[in-house]
């Protein structure tokens, strides 16, 4: 049986001497700007990353899927009448998978990761999420820590009216220990239930206090159709209020992780 060893380390540009590394020195001026902005703000907005043709193919495929599954969609609408988010729809709608191999996506993943990549899962939104500001890491754990990115694709304009993204630029650098906090409420990790909304909210509230103390604030991030936003796993993000509940705001988020190095072999 082959198993992967626990990897150690950080993303290559998070080391203090990263500017002296050959990897950074060999980048173009534009690539260096992307790395610097991502390192500082925790996100990078790439304009016109996907073509209308790709978007049309995804939209048509999603429309067909909705027709086949309309009863389930209607039955699971939220209390305010908006549609739920769709987890892992790329497995049923192959057109979505084209986003993973998109030219811009490939370049950004190679630039920021520099390792093998894997599509872990996806979320497709038919409307804005209206999620409260949060950090994913308590429920999205990988090894080594923080070796994954979220890549958000706007299939149509994301505006204040239809509920756009929100985020805290620089918030990924604010510390909030996901390991120590549970000990305030549980004596052993084994006692923690699979879902604990109270602990989740306390973690997010503690994070909010810290970035506000650092002078950082939540802001709305408008995107145009075809734009891509890639962000650090510790980047606090959410969704603004939908002003028009009948409006759509189609988008897809990919969770991209590192492919583990199978360098150890254990005989069973």
For 157-169, the pLDDT digits (tens) are 999 999 999 999 9
Average pLDDT over residues 86-93: 94
Q: What's the mean pLDDT in 61-71?
A: 96
pLDDT at position 199 is: 85
* 94-98, 103-107, 172-176, 247-251: least confident range: 172-176
* Torsion over CA: 170, 176, 178, 179 (sign): positive
Q: Mean of the pLDDT values across residues 50-77? A: 95
| Residue-wise pLDDT tens digits, 182-241 | 777 788 777 878 788 888 888 899 889 999 999 999 999 999 999 999 999 899 999 999
Report CA Rg, the chain: 19
pLDDT in tens, 5-63: 333 567 888 888 999 988 899 999 999 999 999 999 999 999 999 999 999 999 999 99
CATH of 27-265, one of 1.10.3210.10, 3.40.50.10110, 2.60.120.620, 2.130.10.30: 2.60.120.620
Residue 99 pLDDT class (50, 70, 90 cuts): very high
More reliable by pLDDT, 59 or 136:
59
Counting residues of the chain whose pLDDT is more than 90, the rounded percentage is: 58
Q: Which residues pair with 148 in a beta bridge?
A: 257
Q: What is the DSSP letter of 218?
A: -
Whether the CB-CB separation of 123 and 62 falls below 8 Å is answered with no
Question: Which pLDDT score is estimated for 9?
Answer: 61
Contact assessment for residue 45 and residue 181, using Cβ atoms and an 8 Å cutoff: no
Domain boundaries, given as residue ranges, for the chain: 27-265
Read off the pTM: 0.87
**Angle (nearest 5°) at CA 141 between 94 and 119:** 20
């Amino acid at each position: 049986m082959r198993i992967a060893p626990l990897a150690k380390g950080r993303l290559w540009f998070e080391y203090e001497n990263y500017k002296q590394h050959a990897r950074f020195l060999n980048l173009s001026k534009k690539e260096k700007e992307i790395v610097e902005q991502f390192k500082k703000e925790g996100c990078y907005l790439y304009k016109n990353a996907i073509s209308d043709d790709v978007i049309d193919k995804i939209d048509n495929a999603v429309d067909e899927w909705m027709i086949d599954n309309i009863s389930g969609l209607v039955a699971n609408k939220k209390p305010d009448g908006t549609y739920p988010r769709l987890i892992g729809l790329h497995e049923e709608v192959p057109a979505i998978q084209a986003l993973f191999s998109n030219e811009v996506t490939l370049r950004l993943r190679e630039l920021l990761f520099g390792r093998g990549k894997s599509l872990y899962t996806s979320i497709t939104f038919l409307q804005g999420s209206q999620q409260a500001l949060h950090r994913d890491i308590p429920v999205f754990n990988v090894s080594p820590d923080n070796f994954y990115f979220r890549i958000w694709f706007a299939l149509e304009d994301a505006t204040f009216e239809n509920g756009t993204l929100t985020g805290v630029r620089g918030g990924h650098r604010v510390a909030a220990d996901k390991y120590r906090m549970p000990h305030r409420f549980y004596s052993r990790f084994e006692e923690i239930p699979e879902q604990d909304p109270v602990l989740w909210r306390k973690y997010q509230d503690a994070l909010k206090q810290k970035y506000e103390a650092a002078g950082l604030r939540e802001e709305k991030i408008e995107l145009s159709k075809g734009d891509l936003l890639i962000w650090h796993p510790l980047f606090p993000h959410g969704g603004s209020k939908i002003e028009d509940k009948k409006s759509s705001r189609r988008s897809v988020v990919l969770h991209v992780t590192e492919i583990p190095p199978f360098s150890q072999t254990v005989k069973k």
